[in-house]
Amino acid sequence: MTCLRRHYSATITPENLLEHAVTDALRQVPAARRVSCRAARPWSCTQGAGSRAAREREGAVPDEDRKRAAYRALADRVLTGEGRAPAEQRASAFGNDGLSGPLHTLIGKVATRPAQVTDADFAAAKASGVTEDQLFELVICAAVGQSARLYDAGLAALAEATAGERPDNAT
């Protein structure tokens, strides 16, 4: 997380903070595991490659699985990766619970009302003894945690909405 701050310090805004965190997490993937479009999804680069089932039989990873893997890698990186803030504190910010005082106020706003975050919120959190690097990491954890909750809720709603459309549920 510290490398993200150094690399993007001049360009990070509240609107693009999560995008930069995702980019940083994906950069952590070893080069040996990166693949080209054609190697990862040969059917997306050619015409008439067949059905999804055929692609899966060929050993290709479906896009949904790749997205979920990237999502899990990002969450794992912010929770257990190297950082200045203690892992327990990052987990609390990710879950938006267990923090106290000004830090609780700031992280709560980042997760649920980001447009209402003010410089005074950051100043109060820094005055409580949190360093700027730790504060940066905790804000990233809060944003990623909230997006993870929304992502999970969206997947659950989608699964519920499409449950009646599956062949195994036909009457």
HEC string of the chain equals CHHHHHHHCCCCCCCCHHHHHHHHHHHCCCHHHCCCHHHHCHHHCCCCCCCHHHHHHCCCCCHHHHHHHHHHHHHHHHHHCCCCCCHHHHHHHHHCCCCCHHHHHHHHHHHHCHHHCCHHHHHHHHHCCCCHHHHHHHHHHHHHHHHHHHHHHHHHHHHHHHHHHCHHHCC
Residue 52: count of CB within 10 angstroms of its CB: 12
> Which of 41-55, 99-113, 149-163 has the lowest average pLDDT?
41-55
- Provide the residue ranges of all domains of the chain, joining segments of one domain with +: 2-34+63-163
| Verdict on whether the full-model pTM lies above 0.85 | no
Distance CA 1, CA 82 (A): 7
Q: Is 16 left (phi over 0), alpha (psi -120 to 50) or beta?
A: alpha
pLDDT bracket for residue 68 (50, 70, 90)? confident
Mean residue pLDDT across the chain: 75
Digit-coded pLDDT (tens) for 8-67: 444 555 555 556 665 665 565 554 444 443 343 333 333 344 555 554 555 554 677 888
Question: Given this model, what pLDDT does residue 63 score?
Answer: 74
pLDDT bracket for residue 164 (50, 70, 90)? confident
Residue 5 has pLDDT above 80, yes or no: no
